[in-house]
Amino acid sequence: MARLTRVALALLAALALVLTGCARTPTPTPTAPSAPSGPAKVTIGLTYIPDIQFAPFYVAAEDGIFTENGLDATLRHHGAQEGLFTALVAGQEQYVIAGGDELVQARAEGMDLVAIGQYYHAYPVVLIVPDASAVQSAADLAGLRVGIPGRFGESWFGLKAALHEAGLTESDVEVVEIGYTAQAALTTSQVDAVVGFANNDLVQFGLAGIPTRAVPLAAGDVPLVSIVLATTKANLDANPETARKVARSMVAGIEKVVAEPASAIEAGRDHIPTLDEAGAAASAKATLEATLPLWRASGRPTGEMDEQAWADMVAFMRSAGLITADVAAGDAMTNDAVG
């Protein structure tokens, strides 16, 4: 009896050891160390041909601003026939420079775009007339022929704003679509005025020795928002920190160009193939000087946008027939990336 008891106890002890072994806490499976994320790869669309007007981006690339902000940035100039937002919505670009008014028009047509930073702080479009012209304000356009590249983009929006501010309608003037022949059209009297950019068309008239002057679109603020940095809402939602890095790099590039304009010309040499041609540097310098006021119109460049200005623009564009659907200003822009 005692022997059986001893045997039984031994068997129980052995069984206990087996069960204890089965109940051991499993050894955690080792996890592979996470790989460093590295710089965020982005492609930024610049429209259209390489030009000193894009100097802040050239400076951001050449001076290492993109790299310092953790970006691997590619600057991409669009082809002449390429749509403004085509590459963006196709995912070939993540960011693009475009007019705020152009963005609103695209949103009204169903593109889910959003502005994340102000590039120009003043609207760049003006009326250009011969120096001897009697036109002193947009109201003086009544009965005259006005040349525009076409019924699209900022020149067209600018003319509509000028007529609106002057109390005129399109039927009060003769709108002539002249393509990109402003100099020829004005100097041969095909038109009495052209709509163009203060930092491009007007500069080219001056460099060509053609006496012209700029007439503002309006006596006060133009109800349009100028050039912005834009992306898609999907990209912004998925990559908010990258969007901040891109927007802040842009602002840093603007600050550098405004503070040291000569840096723009040097940085541009690696991006503008024609800059070493005869007269090209002088032309670039003249364009740069005309662009500086657009960057610093509100004082120190910050990239911040005015939501009320966007709301006013949407209201104007709707009333002028430039868009046929409502666009919420708060959906079309955000200051989160620069704030």
**For the whole model, what pTM was predicted?**
0.87
Buried b or exposed e, range 241-262, using 16+ CB within 10 angstroms: ebbbbbbbbbbbbbbbbbeebe
Boundary-marking domain end, from 146, 181, 215: 215
CA dist., res. 290 & res. 102, Å (int) = 22
* Residues in contact with 175: Cβ distance below 8 Å, sequence separation at least 6, in sequence order: 146, 148, 151, 159
* Residues in contact with 337: Cβ distance below 8 Å, sequence separation at least 6, in sequence order: 116, 117, 236, 240, 243, 244, 246, 247, 248, 303
Mark whether 198 and 145 lie in a shared domain: yes
Boundary-marking domain end, from 150, 185, 215: 215
CA dist., res. 308 & res. 8, Å (int) = 89
pLDDT band at residue 185 using 50, 70 and 90 as cut-offs: very high
State residue 80's pLDDT score: 82
Q: Are strands 193-197 and 125-130 parallel, antiparallel or unpaired?
A: antiparallel
Inter-axis angle of helices 55-62 and 240-259, to 10 degrees?
100
pLDDT band at residue 282 using 50, 70 and 90 as cut-offs: very high
**Are the C-beta atoms of residues 73 and 42 closer than 8 Å to each other?**
yes
pLDDT digits (tens, 9 = 90+) for 136-159: 999 999 999 999 999 999 999 999
Assign residue 163 the CATH number of its domain: 3.40.190.10
Which of 17, 83, 93, 49 has its CA nearest to residue 275?
49
> What total number of domains does the chain contain?
2
Mark whether 155 and 229 lie in a shared domain: no
Average pLDDT, the chain: 90
H/E element holding 52? Answer: none
Domain range for 188 is: 125-215
